[in-house]
Structure 1
Amino acid sequence: MTTVDQAKQQARNRVWDLLERERAAPPGVHGRIPAFHGAEQAAERLAGLPQWRDAEVVKAVPDTAQQPVRAQALRDGKLLYMATSKLAHQYPFILLDPAALDPDDAADRHTATRIGRPVEVDTMRPVDLIVCGSVAVNRHGTRLGKGAGYSDIEVALLQEAGLIGRHTTIATTVHDLQVVDDDLPETHHDFSVDLIVTPTTVIACPDPRRPHGLHWDDLPPDKIAAIPALNARHNTDKHH
């Protein structure tokens, strides 16, 4: 583990410990995107923003903390893409059509996986708003996930496919205790968020950072092999 990885893990552990100590999330949050108390209020606050109202296409993570966001998107008639768990399926995203699904049922990640339509990146519509989960995030928009790197890969795949750009807003919904004042460590493949939405407030972050795409040198061979969409793209890149 590199020094940066160690610093990231220390920051995660501090927030996980704090959430459990303050009972701001159910016990057992270590190693997870916290299913924080107040996730519904954060989703409602996000839904009141112009960036949400203007978005026709939303991409969200499958974490429990963002289930209220997924339900809100479907209730508001937005086309929703949800990443598959660990991007382990042949098609890395699931299309959820608000016209054909019950919002509360389809927002559940297990139900969504069963009834949604798996899609290839190349068939997706451009994304207006990305909603990610975080373990910790600071006011500059630097975020830490749980350490597996899936959100970074999702964003990089969409970036390479030309489905996100300067028009795309990236938001995260978190508990207020997950917003930290620290300078969180980051690497060149990490993205930052434009908006932090908590149950009580909205924080706009300056100078958002986006990766230019996939950084193959940062991806271990076993991770490439475990994610079919990555494996296929890697093989294509090698032959060009």
Structure 2
Amino acid sequence: WFKVEAAAGSQKNNSNKAFDAAAFEAERLALDAESRRAMAEAAYPKAWKWVIRKRIWDVMEARNFANNPRPVHHRIPNFVGASVAAEKMRELDVFQVAQCVKVNPDSPQKQVRFLTLSDGKKLLTPQPRPRTGFFSVLDSNMLTLDTIKEACTSVGVAKHGQPIGLDKKIKVDLIVIGSVAVDPRTVQGIAELEYGMLRYMGAIDDSTPVVTSVHDCQLVDDIPVEKLLIHDVPVDIICTPTQVIFTNTFMPKPQPLQRCNLCTRIYWDKLSPEKLGQIRILREFKKRIEQETGQKLPTGPSEKLPPIAQRSRRG
């Protein structure tokens, strides 16, 4: 799921300060730890997804199939051989012809982001801090070799990416997502909100290929198809360090956001007016959903935010 974090202010959006990469990275790591703690607390031990995920996490730790960051629990695992799997993805026809690739921001897909930019494509990736937009676009033509390497990290996205809003006209040719576990038969993915946002924006459609890269141990055969929901994203191609699997999935892709109610995946009742006041893209999204559905979405109780979550406003 997607849980909105009331993150600290991005120095990039503060015209009076230079971008502080060290401070940004320290904040990112702190928020990552906080998110993982929240995920662990929210986990229901008997929920089928959590049972499968925990099994994969345990195996990867026990067999040392993961690189840092570790432990891998409650995150997309940075698996051993991720770069090899990325190279296999690069050889795919759908990757070679793509002009704009949306890639998740997780560690195991870092090489995919690098190959996207180094091959002269546009990279679309979620913003590290969704204040001015939900996604950022990075144009390889605007980057040097050194900045391409940096642009593959969260710090680089914040420094070099261009935030885009819901009205941005953009066509995405390929979607790359991260996975904890994937079943070639049911090909369940986890990037529901991002996929729904792109459908909402008209950037993708049913024909847009969805690819994931995982370790071979992350392939499972016990995801129950009858329990998958309309917002679960099916995967068309799976790349591992040893093989490429074309799933030929029969599962339909999630429909545009306003029709499949993915908006419920945002915890609106946890977002205080103060937090919404900091994240313009979510305020805009909330307003649009309310206009389209004719229903008022909930808002969390008012709160006094800590100093770290404050920032100066421009204009």
Work out the number of aligned pairs and report it: 234
Contact 2:76 2:179 in 1 (8 A): yes
Which of the pair has the greater relative contact order for Cα pairs under 8 Å at 6+ separation?
1
> Which residue of structure 2 aligns with residue 59 of structure 1?
102
Match for 1:153 among 193, 218, 241? 193
Structure 1 residues without counterparts, runs of 5 or longer = 146-150
2:206 is the alignment partner of 1:166 = yes
SS state at 2:79 partner: coil
Amino acid at match of 1:186: L
Structure 1 residue 201: Cα displacement: 0.6
Map of 1:193-232 to 2, 5 A cutoff? 193-205=235-247, 206-214=249-257, 215=261, 216-222=263-269, 228-232=280-284
> Which residue of structure 2 aligns with residue 100 of structure 1?
142
Asked which structure has the greater CA Rg, the reply is 2
2:229 is the alignment partner of 1:187 = yes
Contact 2:127 2:157 in 1 (8 A): no
Map of 1:1-240 to 2, 5 A cutoff? 6-26=47-67, 27-85=70-128, 88-101=130-143, 102=145, 103-145=148-190, 151-184=191-224, 185-205=227-247, 206-214=249-257, 215=261, 216-222=263-269, 228-240=280-292
Give the stretch that moved more between structures: 41-50 or 123-132: 123-132
Contact 1:126 1:164 in 2 (8 A): yes
Give the stretch that moved more between structures: 42-51 or 4-13: 4-13
* Identity fraction in percent: 34
Q: Distance in 1 between matches of 2:220 and 2:179?
A: 12
Give the stretch that moved more between structures: 131-140 or 2-11: 2-11
Contact 2:189 2:235 in 1 (8 A): no
Contact 1:77 1:98 in 2 (8 A): yes
Structure 1 residue 204: Cα displacement: 0.9
Contact 1:38 1:199 in 2 (8 A): yes
Q: Distance in 2 between matches of 1:109 and 1:124?
A: 24
Distance 1:123 1:223, change over 3 A: farther
Q: Distance in 1 between matches of 2:228 and 2:162?
A: 34
Structure 1 residue 70: Cα displacement: 0.2
Give the stretch that moved more between structures: 219-228 or 178-187: 219-228
Distance 1:121 1:186, change over 3 A: same
Distance 1:218 1:97, change over 3 A: closer
Distance 1:61 1:222, change over 3 A: farther
Distance 1:66 1:171, change over 3 A: same
Bigger strand fraction = 1
TM-score (norm 1): 0.88
Q: Spell out, residue by residue over 1:173-230, the C-alpha distance to the aligned partner (whole angstroms, 9 max, x if none).
A: 1111111111244222111111111111111112243111331345432467766534
Contact 1:143 1:192 in 2 (8 A): yes
SS state at 2:75 partner: coil
Amino acid at match of 1:153: L
SS state at 1:153 partner: helix
Structure 2 residues without counterparts, runs of 5 or longer = 1-41, 293-315
Contact 1:141 1:196 in 2 (8 A): no
TM-score (norm 2): 0.68
